[in-house]
């Protein structure tokens, strides 16, 4: 097995998805010295009822950079269109090239089944790129020295249920109680989305909803707040639960 370079990548659909779904876990990894990359397929150009696509995209990517910077992370965007992410050769290539440039030991992406199709397509992009990025012929970019298939974790779908309302049973639940204040600060960087949710979803509880779900997952393991994941354990992927190994060890120090 190759030695780990301690690099984690969250490849998700929209700015703010990482902060909602795995922000606390990313904070814990950053505190262990891991390099954190947050990438989105889109700049969130449909996340407004009043601004132009260009204006909201610029605003949301700035918010994403600010949030990532709070934990010393780096933000990337594939430049796809919000609510129109597709699984095609050009988009798969973008994902492969990104993962190849980062060569993560650990990846997070969306649940395979979620409430919106952008999430499901990005889940496929994350799975495809994590598997093949190290193959010499798959990209014109130089092959990285570190190119093992990473540990891959699917974040909770929104509200912890699949599109038919069935609860998703996690394989891994991570205590983020001590990180909740910082996770909240990261999410609060995405100020544009509070107004979007009020206008489009009819809800004014952007941060409260995130905290409620964290409390619900925390109850699974008897802590105040947690984040939950399902580990991808198919052929060729690592099957040991790296997140639990790393972060349980951290709790014991």
Is 112 within the bounds of a domain? yes
**pLDDT for position 145:** 84
Give a yes or no: residue 214 inside a domain.
yes
Instruction: Please report whether residue 216 resides in a domain.
Output: yes
In this predicted structure, what is the pLDDT of residue 108?
99
For residue 26, being part of any structural domain is answered with yes
Average confidence (pLDDT) per 10 residues, the chain, 253 residues: 83 97 98 98 93 96 98 98 98 98 97 98 98 96 88 97 97 98 95 73 73 96 98 98 86 39
Q: What is the pLDDT of residue 198?
A: 66
Cβ atoms within 10 Å, residue 23: 30
In a domain, 252, yes or no: no
Tokens 């150009």 belong to residue: 45
In a domain, 1, yes or no: no
pLDDT at res. 81: 98
Within-domain flag for 253: no
Q: What is the pLDDT of residue 248?
A: 84
The number of folded domains in the chain is 1
Q: Which two tokens stand for residue 138?
A: 């798959």
Helices 180-188 and 206-221, interaxial angle, to 10°?
Answer: 150
Q: Identify the bridge partners of residue 151 per DSSP, sorted by sequence position.
A: 106
Q: Which domain holds residue 24?
A: 7-247
In this prediction the pTM is 0.94
- Closest Cα partner for 125 from 185, 42, 193, 208? 42
What's residue 252's pLDDT? 37
- Check which CATH number belongs to the domain holding 130 and give it: 3.40.50.10320
Burial (CB count <10 Å: 0-12, 13-18, 19+), residue 132: middle
CA torsion angle 32 250 154 72 (round to 10): -20
The confidence score (pLDDT) of residue 143 equals: 87
Determine, yes or no, domain membership for 2.
no
Structure tokens at 70: 């709070």
What's residue 86's pLDDT?
A: 98
Q: Report the C-alpha gap between 130 and 148 in whole angstroms.
A: 9
């Amino acid at each position: 097995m190759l030695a780990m370079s301690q690099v984690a990548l969250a490849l998700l659909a929209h700015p703010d998805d990482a902060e909602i779904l795995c922000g606390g876990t990313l904070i814990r990894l950053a505190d262990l010295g891991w390099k954190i990359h947050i990438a989105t397929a889109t700049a969130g150009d449909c996340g407004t009822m009043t601004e132009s696509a260009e204006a909201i995209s610029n605003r949301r990517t700035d918010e994403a950079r600010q949030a990532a910077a709070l934990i010393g992370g780096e933000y990337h965007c594939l430049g796809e269109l919000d609510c129109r992410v597709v699984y095609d050769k050009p988009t798969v290539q973008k994902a492969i090239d990104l993962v190849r440039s980062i060569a993560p030991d650990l990846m997070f992406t969306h649940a395979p089944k979620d409430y919106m199709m952008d999430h499901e397509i990005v889940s496929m992009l994350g799975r495809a790129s994590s598997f093949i990025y190290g193959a010499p012929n798959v990209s014109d970019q130089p092959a990285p020295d570190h190119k093992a298939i990473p540990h891959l974790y699917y974040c909770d779908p929104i509200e912890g249920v699949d599109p038919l309302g069935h609860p998703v049973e996690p394989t891994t639940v991570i205590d983020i109680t001590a990180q909740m204040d910082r996770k909240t600060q990261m999410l609060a960087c995405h100020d544009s989305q509070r107004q979007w949710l009020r206008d489009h979803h009819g809800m004014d509880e952007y941060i409260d909803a995130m905290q409620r779900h964290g409390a619900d997952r925390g109850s699974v393991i008897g802590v105040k707040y947690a984040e939950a994941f399902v580990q991808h354990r198919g052929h060729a992927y690592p099957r040991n639960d790296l997140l639990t190994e790393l972060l349980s060890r951290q709790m014991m120090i």
